[in-house]
Amino acid sequence: MGLVGVLRLSSSSEADKGKALHQLALLANGSYGDHAIALCEGLRATGGVELIVGLLGSPSAEVHRMALMLVADDL
């Protein structure tokens, strides 16, 4: 299962969501040019952006922080 799949599962714990967001943040921060464009297009096409935005309201400070960082990274 991919990182977006972990975010999509209602059974995923906040810790698992935080880890998935952290991995996405690492990918986003290390992506440039065509790779960054492809990553963002993939996230938009799979509903990842909506999932990340939805996690801005998470009660977990870590999940909230990671989601905010990704949204601010112009996905």
pLDDT digits (tens, 9 = 90+) for 26-37: 998 899 999 999
At 9 the three-state DSSP class reads coil
Q: Exposure of 32 by Cβ count < 10 A (0-12 exposed, 13-18 middle, 19+ buried)?
A: exposed
> pTM for the full model?
0.83
pLDDT tens digit sequence for 41-53: 999 999 999 999 9
Mean pLDDT, the chain, whole residue set:
88
For helices 61-72 and 14-29, angle between their N-to-C axes, nearest 10 degrees:
30
